Amino acid sequence: MGSLSFGAWAAPVGDPSIFEKLLKIEKVEKKNPGPAAVSIVRDPTEVGTPVGKRGPKTVRFTLETQEVLGVLDASAKTSFMYWTFNGKVPGPLLRARVGDTIEITLKNAKESSMFHSIDLHAVWGQGGGAALTSVGPGEEKSFVFKALTPGLFVYHCATPIIPQHISSGMYGMILIEPEGGLPKVDRELYVMQGDMYTEGSDSEKSFNQNAMMDEHPTYVVMNGSAAALAANPMKVKVGDSVRIFFGVGGPNLTSSFHAIGGIFDKVYNQASLTATPVTDVQTTSVPPGGATMVEFTARVPAKYILVDHAISRLLKGNVAIIEAEGAADPEIFRAGSLK
């Protein structure tokens, strides 16, 4: 609904002019409904296929840039015109191994209004591939690179104005596993943080370039939409070993990544998969355009709350929940006092 309808709920009860306005808006919307906002939230369980023990091979990935009217804040019934890779935020987790030869094809949907491109931080080459993938509506281009370095790397659109494309949802990650692959865990999850800059009191928000330049975000989100991963928690079981691929698309904010109610058993600092992980970590810093990989075992049933511990960002939508189900362990955690 329009801005008047949302303002109405805070107006004095019984104001007839408000209800007249509401009826007028309803009539207009029924005549000209426009496109409905859809969920753009990337399912955090979509982590691709582990490479295991296989040797190097040729791997092909195709991405399509799509401009989608998506739900920004379900509780406030607001939407935003997202720019995406494959219709979701973040873009898909691409998964390969060191030594692979990787072909990237970028398509731009014919309905798009903008040029788009892709810069992968895993690439040695001009612009991380952006120089070879500038595509207009209806176009597609490809390039090939060799995965020389293992790690978890951000990719994003690199078409000017670059931070606008990133803030609007054009980021994701590519995982280059080391030789032999990653150790097995029970659950893997894919979560990315982004900062968004919007204006307007209408239900459909628009981009605010001045707020972006001032680095004053109106929303700080995980997987594209405010509190979406709290409204739909990720599920694990007590005793599960859990791995989170976490990155920050940005474009501006550094995340102090923290799990309320838990401690990271291992943190692969700056997503270095060849260095020895840091152990027993409460909060880890992840810069924009950076990533980390964290692991922990869910020791007790709880809702582990993922936040940026620049904690006021919680009020801008920055929260996700991992819900662990199973038997309680009173030796670790219980109500009451010692007797």
The 10s digit of each residue's pLDDT in 268-327 is 999 999 999 999 999 999 999 999 999 999 999 999 999 999 999 999 999 999 999 999
Single-letter amino acid, residue 171: Y
pLDDT in the model for residue 34: 56
> pTM of this prediction?
0.89
Single-letter amino acid, residue 274: T
130 in Cβ contact with 119 (< 8 Å): yes
> How far, in Å, CA of 104 to CA of 115, rounded?
17
Examine domains 58-177 and 187-325 and report if their fold is the same.
yes
Question: What is the pLDDT averaged over residues 193-204?
Answer: 94
pLDDT in the model for residue 311: 97
> How far, in Å, CA of 128 to CA of 158, rounded?
9
pLDDT in the model for residue 117: 98
The 10s digit of each residue's pLDDT in 95-138 is 999 999 999 999 999 999 999 999 999 999 999 999 999 999 99
Residues in the chain: 339
Look up residue 192 and give its two tokens.
């990315």
Residue 210 gets which letter from DSSP?
H
Query: Which CATH number is associated with domain 187-325?
Result: 2.60.40.420
Single-letter amino acid, residue 92: P
CATH class of 58-177: mainly beta
3 state DSSP class of 251: coil
Instruction: Check residues 12 and 86 and name the one with the higher pLDDT.
Output: 86
Q: Which segments of 204-294 does DSSP mark as H helices, in order?
A: 209-214, 228-231
Q: Provide the pairing of β-strand 290-297 with 264-268.
A: antiparallel
Instruction: Check residues 16 and 225 and name the one with the higher pLDDT.
Output: 225
> How does 23-51 read in b/e, with b if 16+ C-beta sit within 10 Å?
eebeeeeeeeeeeebebbbbebeebbebb
172 in Cβ contact with 64 (< 8 Å): no
Q: Where are the domains of the chain?
A: 58-177, 187-325
The 10s digit of each residue's pLDDT in 38-87 is 999 999 999 999 999 999 999 999 999 999 999 999 999 999 999 999 99
Name the average pLDDT for the chain.
91
